[in-house]
Structure 1
Amino acid sequence: MNTPELQTPATQRIQELLGCPEARRHLSSYGWIEGMPVVFAHAAERVEDIMGLVSVHGRAVLLVLSDDQTENLQLWHITVPSPIFTRVEPTTPGMMIQELCTRHPESRIIPFRVAYWSHSAAIHEIPLDPYTDRNDLRGSVFPYHG
């Protein structure tokens, strides 16, 4: 992420977040580990497209979901597809990633599957601010100097 042409507000904010020891401890409590791949997506991107990027890594990823209009970020932990998860029906073709992330907000872990996966994977949100419902770094307990 040190390439200037790839520096966006979202990448800069995630770099700052990952550079903060307190934030790293918080992320670790939700499954993040050092060196975990980070996949950036916009809320209106298709689930199939994003999961294609996730599949390339062959391991769990940190999904950074951004909204250009509000500049809010959401963080999601996505596992690899595995036979340990209940096999669910594939997501609807054309489903947007934001819809997947919000379809069961009362559930902590959401099983899902895209059509080209044999097994389901799981996704769960990593709250940026454990004390409020706001999901942007500017309102979080973690330092943000943007």
Structure 2
Amino acid sequence: MIVVAVGVLCALYVTWLAARLSRLNARVKATASALSVAANRRACVAIELGEDLKEESVRAAAHAALVASDDRQIAAENDLTRALRKARGHTIDPDAWGQLEAVNRRLAVARQMHNDAVRDTLALRGARTPRGLRLASHLPRPQYFDIDTDLS
């Protein structure tokens, strides 16, 4: 009887761990999607700003960020941030720059939420029991999205 109870408790614990890993991976996917939307929105606003300024480097960097492949996305976003920093020295419409800063803040929040979700997922995946039972072996390893969003 005790052996059966211990077996049931172990099965419940493993099921709970598997469900938690599944929820964390769903959270990573959701935050990655929100991050992608925020990055695309920033690139679109940057294209508009680049057209207003007649600044080709901003437009080119924003376009590159929009069409970048997954493995090139972080570098493209950092290039866009650098181009926007350089453009700040030009005469810029305060409303347009304010819109860009607002979109940039949303991108920073989305990045932070995504990186928090990745950290939580990797922490659970690295724990002894999930790793030993290979509960997440069929899932891709989530990646951090480290970009510079400081425009000053």
Whether the TM-score (by the shorter chain) exceeds 0.5 is no
Report which of the two has the higher share of helix.
Answer: 2
Larger RCO (CA within 8 A; separation ≥ 6): 2
**Smaller-chain TM-score bracket:** under 0.3
TM-score by length of 1: 0.25
Report which of the two has the higher share of strand.
Answer: 1
Larger radius of gyration: 2
TM-score by length of 2: 0.25
